[in-house]
Chain A
């Protein structure tokens, strides 16, 4: 048994690796994605549909707020005691015939999985959608090693066949419409009927036929897990197409890759989480398939059962006292469905497996604010708070975004002594706004602004990159002749 290193302050912090970075500054990526009007229309339609469905089913539960609180409390308690919970899980998983592997980061996890697959002699595996394996880039790694991984989730399959990246946690192909899907199938499925139309039922049947062959021949399956129950060593996967059930029961070997934060104390907790998750994610009262498995049962289901417990920066996030609740995330994607920024840019703009509001905090927490272009992620929000309201486990995403902005400013100042335009703007504002007297003096210049405004009483262009960006699409009204405080004084009031 390897030891848990979770939360041990003596060990160096473990930065995550893999598909977790912003690859270019968010504003730049966002601007490009914004230009894709088809993408924007698809996203708007899809997010609004799920959003409305979610509101309906959440509204049905009179105790929704209590459930959220219970979910949040349970997760907080688990995080406060994570090493012990993981040890308990390991003990029980092992006692029931499973094998536990610990992976510090993406490289280690990929190596463990590859070795496990190699040992079976199989060169093909089936997969049920797993965020953890997306995060570590497992498919690409296996491919390099000569092992073909087939995604079996319809949307994942579309993304995989389209040589694309997922754009959403739950609806990875949210950015594709059905004509695009048909074209992908025609190009990538050798056996498909060349007269395939873009009728959704026909598309689903084509995928089904394609996948059935894979299920029946695969000897190895790889899954993620939505939950791990510490007291029994049970794993759980929640899905809606039945492909997961196939992957979890048909093959001989089952390898699960799961982030260490997914552990729950006991089956009792499912009562809360199985109400929170389907309603928040797909807007359904209950998802069609929930599979729970505990170790190995002789003669039934996979006979070799493994789990790779993945850190990959999670202990790093756990060590951040203002950010750690981000680990409470159950990956329902409700936050991205209500996010006005995500709605316009889509998931690719965030450059990470985890897009949207949760991605904007999780990626920097796991891999470091100064890694790649992570520093731009916490600013990808107007702080409107819709994500916090929607989150079933009450993660205060806006507060963590603000916290990470502070971390970014700190990191920037540590890296360079040359003040940025933002630094100068903020310094100026600090001087003006730290005292009523100074602000009063500055306000004496308001009439100058009136001059700048011109005849139509509008300021249409400001100098500088940042202020200039504001006036690229917005006018500023001419300032008044007199500030309020000046008026107040002149009136002789106190």
Chain B
């Protein structure tokens, strides 16, 4: 299959290793990965902040970028960006009365998948150790991000895949489905409330004893990791793509704040 990678702006600029891991996973399965160079961002931040005109420009760029390349499906290692492409792009176009853009947005959205959605539903990956050679000998806990959980209805796809990684020990996160408090500009506009939510998330992560919190959304992980770091916690965050891409020969780099697998 020819798979177009939507790296997302945060991953592209802040976590390139997550995008490289995504590429590795897909190539290991024998697929061809292309990167539409015109892509930049899904515009979620603008949409969710109420700047619809700006958001529409950002969205239009995304749509054009993904129309300019031949591919079977597009994939992003981020539930919230995929949800934005699928749900917000048509909405932005419709609100502006641009039916042409709305149609194009819907077409791009229909071909766009979150990473584990693509792996499980389309590519039939159910055992990461066996099918991807994934090996990650660490204790981790897992935070399901809100948009993946509630907008994309990813269910247990992410967690189930993580559990099948060789050598891994996955411990349950208390109150896992509680929001980490990121919410894009919410964490700036309502910084105090966001912090209160983050502190509870960090406390729950600490209580598991895991050195790492994994997840499928770089922005939530940036937020959670930022809180753990400020609190001087030994625990860090890592995107599940990097865990799935990790093998015995080519192990993932574990964030330096972590002490590893100690419980």
Contact = CB atoms under 8 A, between A and B. Distances in A.
Interface of A: 26-27, 30-31, 34, 40, 322, 340-341, 344-345, 378-386, 388-389, 399, 402, 404-409, 422, 426-427, 429-430, 432-439, 442-443, 446, 457-458, 460, 466-467, 469-470, 472-477, 479-480, 482-485, 487-488, 493-494
A402 B196 contact: no
24 contacts: A30-B193, A34-B192, A344-B197, A379-B186, A380-B193, A382-B187, A384-B150, A385-B147, A386-B150, A399-B91, A402-B50, A409-B49, A426-B51, A433-B61, A434-B57, A435-B40, A436-B36, A436-B39, A443-B13, A470-B188, A475-B225, A477-B14, A480-B14, A484-B11
A378 B185 CA distance: 12
Contacts of A442: 13
Interface string B178-198: 110111111111111111111
B230 A474 contact: yes
Contacts, number: 203
B51 A430 contact: yes
Interface residues of B, number: 70
Interface string B159-203: 000000000000000000111011111111111111111110000
B190 A380 contact: yes
Contacts of B105: none
Nearest to A473: B195
A479 B48 contact: no
A438 B12 CA distance: 13
Contacts of A405: 48-50
A430 B46 contact: yes
B150 A422 contact: no
Given A382-B183, A429-B46, A432-B40, A473 B189 contact: no
Nearest to B223: A474
A450 to B, nearest CB: 12
Contacts of B34: 494
Given A383-B186, A483-B13, A389 B35 contact: no
A345 B50 contact: no
Nearest 10 CB-CB pairs, A to B?
A: A382-B183, A405-B50, A474-B226, A469-B191, A384-B179, A484-B16, A433-B41, A385-B150, A409-B50, A384-B146
B20 interface: yes
Give the interface centre of B36, B51, B222 by most chain A CB atoms within 10 Å.
Answer: B51
Contact of A479 (B13, B20, B91, B95): B13
A43 to B, nearest CB: 11
A380 B74 CA distance: 33
A382 B182 contact: yes
A480 to B, nearest CB: 5
A470 B47 CA distance: 20
A179 to B, nearest CB: 24
B37 interface: yes
B261 interface: no
A478 B184 CA distance: 19
B208 interface: no
Given A384-B150, A422-B185, A439 B229 contact: no
B84 to A, nearest CB: 11
A383 B48 contact: yes
Given A383-B183, A422-B185, A470-B191, 11 more contacts: A31-B193, A40-B196, A340-B181, A345-B193, A378-B50, A380-B190, A383-B146, A384-B150, A434-B57, A467-B188, A469-B191
Contacts of B186: 379, 381-383
B256 interface: yes
B45 A487 contact: no
A24 to B, nearest CB: 14
B188 A439 contact: no
Contacts of A407: 50
A309 to B, nearest CB: 33
A477 B229 contact: yes
Give the interface centre of B16, B40, B50, B57 by most chain A CB atoms within 10 Å.
Answer: B50
A443 B223 CA distance: 21
Contacts of A472: 191, 195
Contacts of A458: 229
B256 A457 contact: yes
B196 A344 contact: yes
A402 B47 contact: yes
A473 B193 contact: no
Contacts of B9: 433, 439
A438 B179 CA distance: 32
Contacts of A429: 45-46, 54
A379 B61 contact: no
Given A386-B150, A434-B57, A474-B223, A466 B189 contact: yes
A340 to B, nearest CB: 5
A409 B14 contact: no
A484 B45 CA distance: 20
Contacts of A385: 146-147, 149-151
B229 A482 contact: no
Contacts of B155: none
A340 B11 CA distance: 27
A381 B181 CA distance: 9
Nearest to A446: B13
Contact of A427 (B17, B54, B192): B54
Interface string B140-155: 0000001101110000
A404 B194 CA distance: 20
A379 to B, nearest CB: 5
Give the interface centre of A427, A434, A474, A483 by most chain B CB atoms within 10 Å.
Answer: A474
Contacts of B7: 484-485
B12 A443 contact: yes
A409 B45 CA distance: 14
A397 to B, nearest CB: 12
Give the interface centre of A27, A378, A386, A488 by most chain B CB atoms within 10 Å.
Answer: A488
A435 B61 contact: yes
Contacts of B179: 340, 382, 384, 386
Contacts of B57: 430, 434
B65 interface: yes
B43 interface: yes
Contact of A341 (B11, B58, B61, B193): B193
